[in-house]
Chains A and B, each alone.
Chain A
Amino acid sequence: GAGVSQTPSNKVTEKGKYVELRCDPISGHTALYWYRQSLGQGPEFLIYFQGTGAADDSGLPNDRFFAVRPEGSVSTLKIQRTERGDSAVYLCASSRYTGKRETQYFGPGTRLLVL
């Protein structure tokens, strides 16, 4: 079946611009996660959704970052007034449910470069 997809695969923008990154989870998965990965580091948690609501957004670095999942499926990560330090790979994952046994399935990521 189809895995997690993310669009665009690459995004180049200028400092100060607004960007949106999209994630299409595996059909039927109730939980959706966003992570950010800087070069040479492991992925860092940003936010996760259970259904339509953000269950934990403690990883969002500041109020320039916001994410939505209005219908409990597709999610969009929004970054306002981008800064060069926002350059990273943004990863999305989904799981059937939340829980300690659950496997998260990751997409290929969106590579964001802020010039």
Chain B
Amino acid sequence: DAKTTQPNSMESNEEEPVHLPCNHSTISGTDYIHWYRQLPSQGPEYVIHGLTSNVNNRMASLAIAEDRKSSTLILHRATLRDAAVYYCIPNTGNQFYFGTGTSLTVIP
């Protein structure tokens, strides 16, 4: 199983960009990188996923390193509603292996 390393916590000021890093150096060549977030007292919520190319959607952007050993989730303008725990998950095709994620605090 691909292991991931994420900072335990990060802070951002409201309306500023946030870059959430993840190292997944043991990822296999065909595993997609998924990002989920979990707001307090809720189930995890899908954010974005990608394989090799950078990806954008209405929620965020995903920048994937050329060697695929790391990726960065980018929130372009953090809002208070973005305060959550963010998990990066190399998808091996079956169950997800969550780590402890990054707890993001957004400062008004």
Chain A interface bracket (under 10, 10 to 19, 20 to 34, 35 or more) = 20 to 34
Task: Assess A100 versus B31: contact at CB under 8 Å? Given A42-B98, A55-B94.
Answer: yes
Q: How far is the CB of B18 from chain A (nearest CB, A)?
A: 20
Interface 1/0 per residue, A81-115 and B, CB below 8 Å:
00000000001010000111111111111000000
B91 cross-chain contacts in A, Cβ below 8 A: 100-102
Which stretch, B42-50, B60-68, B69-77, touches the partner chain A? Answer: B42-50
CB of B101 within 8 A of CB of A42, answer yes
CB of A103 within 8 A of CB of B43, answer no
Number of A-B contacts (CB under 8 A): 59
CB of A108 within 8 A of CB of B95, answer no
Q: Whose C-beta in chain B lies nearest to the C-beta of A40?
A: B100
CB of A98 within 8 A of CB of B46, answer no
Q: How far is the CB of B94 from chain A (nearest CB, A)?
A: 6
Q: How far is the CB of A104 from chain B (nearest CB, A)?
A: 6
Q: How far is the CB of A36 from chain B (nearest CB, A)?
A: 11
Q: Does B24 touch A at the CB level, under 8 Å?
A: no
User: B residues bordering A, Cβ < 8 Å?
Assistant: 30-32, 34, 42-46, 49, 51, 85, 87, 91-101
